[in-house]
């Protein structure tokens, strides 16, 4: 249990519950977790904080309203990228996201986005990456979308596909459930080949934004 990144088995042992219970919590977004490919992993520090929070307050995971693209994304948060390196793409998109009123510390956002990426790649396959952070300097969840006409080769996706679509999510630290639900929402929507192709073929960011908004009605 000294490692910073834990498996389901290690979390189950630490919490004294079954592995199935931990898996169900992760699937439902009720415990801090992330996936590498198809395998769940957990940060020890976040698990400890999660446990302490619930022991001290008795809080349960809140019920979250259905995700709306319009609620988390604005037209100016969709940008075309001209980057061939992951670092440059993340920096460019973080700079755009930092323009949102919800983000109060641009430097912290970029630092934590890059640190998170060093920990594990946020590329989820199919040419998509979803870099994401929760920060105390963010007041509410907000998203920026980057569309790269050039394939970014160094994301180290599990399917070895280069990345061209980036969805950067920044949330307040106390928005864990909403944050996970948003990650799941984008992951599910982006399984659509038509959506991915439409975004890559969009003539300008406004058209890409309108295409994304159309997903709310599906």
Instruction: Please list the active-site residues.
Output: 132
Residue length of the chain: 218
- What sections of 29-175 are H helices per DSSP? 44-57, 69-72, 86-97, 106-119
- Short-list 111, 134, 201, CA closest to 164: 201
Cα 99 from chain centre:
18
Q: β-strand 78-81 against 142-152: which pairing, if any?
A: parallel
Cβ-proximal residues to 197 (8 Å cutoff; 6+ apart), any chain: none
Question: And the tokens for 45?
Answer: 């520090």
Q: What are phi and psi of 8, to 5 degrees?
A: -60, -45
Place of tokens 């996936």: 35
Cα 155 from chain centre:
15
């Amino acid at each position: 249990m000294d490692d910073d990144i834990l498996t389901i088995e290690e979390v189950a042992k630490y919490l004294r519950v079954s592995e199935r219970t931990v898996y169900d919590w992760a699937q439902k977004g009720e415990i801090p977790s992330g996936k590498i490919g198809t395998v769940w992993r957990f940060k020890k520090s976040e698990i400890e904080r999660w446990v302490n929070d619930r022991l001290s307050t008795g809080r349960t995971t809140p019920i979250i309203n259905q995700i709306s693209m319009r609620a988390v994304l604005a037209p100016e948060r969709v940008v075309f990228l001209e980057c061939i390196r992951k670092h440059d793409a993340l920096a460019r998109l973080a700079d755009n996201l930092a323009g949102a009123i919800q983000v109060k510390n641009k430097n912290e956002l970029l630092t934590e986005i890059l640190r998170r990426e060093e920990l594990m790649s946020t590329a989820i396959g199919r040419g998509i990456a979803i870099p994401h952070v929760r920060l105390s300097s963010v007041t509410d969840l907000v998203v920026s979308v980057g569309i790269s006409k050039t394939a970014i080769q160094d994301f180290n996706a599990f399917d070895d596909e280069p990345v061209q679509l980036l969805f950067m999510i920044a949330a307040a630290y106390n928005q864990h459930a909403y944050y996970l639900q948003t990650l799941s929402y984008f992951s599910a929507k982006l399984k659509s080949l038509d959506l991915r192709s439409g975004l890559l073929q969009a003539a300008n960011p406004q058209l890409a934004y309108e295409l994304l908004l159309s997903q709310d009605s599906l």
